[in-house]
Amino acid sequence: MEAAFEIFQTSGYPEMTFQNIAKKAKTSRTVLYRQ
């Protein structure tokens, strides 16, 4: 959630992809889908 919030604040909604959030959170997209 922190990674998503930070991306939203700095880059805006268009950059809020699962790939970008996973990269920022240093995890994989699969882990995000499970949460």
- Other C-beta atoms closer than 10 Å to the C-beta of 21 total 21
Number of independent structural domains in the chain? 1
Give residue 7's pLDDT: 94
How much helix, strand and coil, in percent to the nearest 5, is found in the chain?
Answer: 75, 0, 25
Give residue 34's pLDDT: 87
Give residue 4's pLDDT: 93
pTM assigned to the model: 0.80
Range of the structural domain that residue 20 is part of: 1-34
Q: For 1-35, what is each residue's pLDDT tens digit?
A: 999 999 999 999 999 999 999 999 999 999 988 87
Give residue 35's pLDDT: 73
